[in-house]
Structure 1
Amino acid sequence: MIHFVLLVSRQGKVRLTKWYSPYSQKERTKVIRELTGLILTRGLKLCNFVEWRGYKVVYKRYASLYFCMCIDQDDNELEVLEIIHHYVETLDRYFGSVCELDLIFNFHKAYYILDELLLAGELQEPSKKIVARLIAGQDSLVEAAKEEANSISNIIAQATK
């Protein structure tokens, strides 16, 4: 089971967090501070697995972002690396070539994609095509709602003239 997902920049800025196990706000802040310090100081040639507090933290660096997932001791690290890569490929497919700014300005899309991939800390949907179709459907619903809101505001503006 994945306990939480962290996306951290090389400068230590948190770009995305998703918690699947209960942590208080104080604990979350402490966890982020500990893991950021631990992962950012590791050498590039070291492995992508860290034992931490009785768990394993699996991380992978893509460009300027570290994608980290905390798992149980007996979970498969390579499978989690594949899940991280799957998430990055899905983000790439949606944003073109995803960068840190895409995640900053479209964080809601990054969360939505993560929610389509993972459910309660387990992989929900392994197919990139299905996830892309679901995201496209969500985008079309948002666009339809925006158009409807604009038409309603136009009707109200016409009626108040």
Structure 2
Amino acid sequence: MIHFVLLISRQGKVRLTKWYSPYSQKERNKAIREISGMVLSRAPKLCNFVEWRGHKIVYKRYASLYFCMCIDEEDNELEVLEIIHHFVEILDRYFGSVCELDLIFNFHKAYYILDELLIAGELQESSKKTIARLIAAQDSLVETAKEEASSISNIIAQATK
């Protein structure tokens, strides 16, 4: 089971967090500090698995971001690396070569993609095509809602004149 997902920049700024296990806000902040310090200080040639508080942190660096997932000790690290890569491929397909700024300005879409990929810390969908179709449907719903809201506000503006 994946306990949480962290996306951390090279400067140590947290760009995305998703918690699947109950942690208090104080515990979350402490975990983020510890893990970012551990992961950022490691040499690039070292393995991508670190033991932390009876769990394993599996991480992978893509460009300026570290994608980190906390798993149970007995879970398969290579499977989690594949999940991380799968997530990055979906982000790349959606944003067209994803970068840190895409995640900063469109964090809600990154969360939506992650929610389509993982539920309760387990892999939900392995098909990139299915996830892309669901994201496109969500974007279509958002656009329709924006158009309806715009037309309603126009009607109200004209009625109040």
Bin of the TM-score, shorter chain as denominator length:
over 0.9
Q: Deviations over 1:83-132 (max 9, x none)?
A: 00000000000000100000000000000000000000000000000000
Matches of 1:160 and 1:148 in 2, distance apart? 18
Q: Which residue of 2 aligns with 1:49?
A: 49
Note the 1:23-42 alignment, pairs <5 A.
23-42=23-42
Name stretches of at least 5 consecutive residues in structure 1 with no aligned partner. none
Q: Which residue of 2 aligns with 1:148?
A: 148
Moved over 3 A (4+): none
- Per the normalisation by structure 2, the TM-score is 0.99
Q: Deviations over 1:116-158 (max 9, x none)?
A: 0000000000000000000000000000000000000111111
Q: Which residue of 1 aligns with 2:87?
A: 87
Paired-residue identity, % = 86
Q: Secondary structure at the match of 2:18?
A: strand
Q: Deviations over 1:8-44 (max 9, x none)?
A: 0000000000000000000000000000000000000
Q: Which residue of 2 aligns with 1:139?
A: 139
Q: Deviations over 1:49-75 (max 9, x none)?
A: 001111000000000000000000000
Q: Which residue of 2 aligns with 1:128?
A: 128
Q: Secondary structure at the match of 2:97?
A: coil
Q: Which residue of 2 aligns with 1:99?
A: 99
Matches of 2:60 and 2:95 in 1, distance apart? 19
Q: How many residues are matched?
A: 161
Q: Which residue of 1 aligns with 2:68?
A: 68
Equivalent residue letter for 2:11: Q
Q: Secondary structure at the match of 1:134?
A: helix
Matches of 1:11 and 1:80 in 2, distance apart? 24
Name stretches of at least 5 consecutive residues in structure 2 with no aligned partner. none
**Is residue 41 of structure 2 the alignment partner of residue 6 of structure 1?**
no
Matches of 1:42 and 1:57 in 2, distance apart? 13
Equivalent residue letter for 1:86: H
**Is residue 158 of structure 2 the alignment partner of residue 158 of structure 1?**
yes
- Per the normalisation by structure 1, the TM-score is 0.99
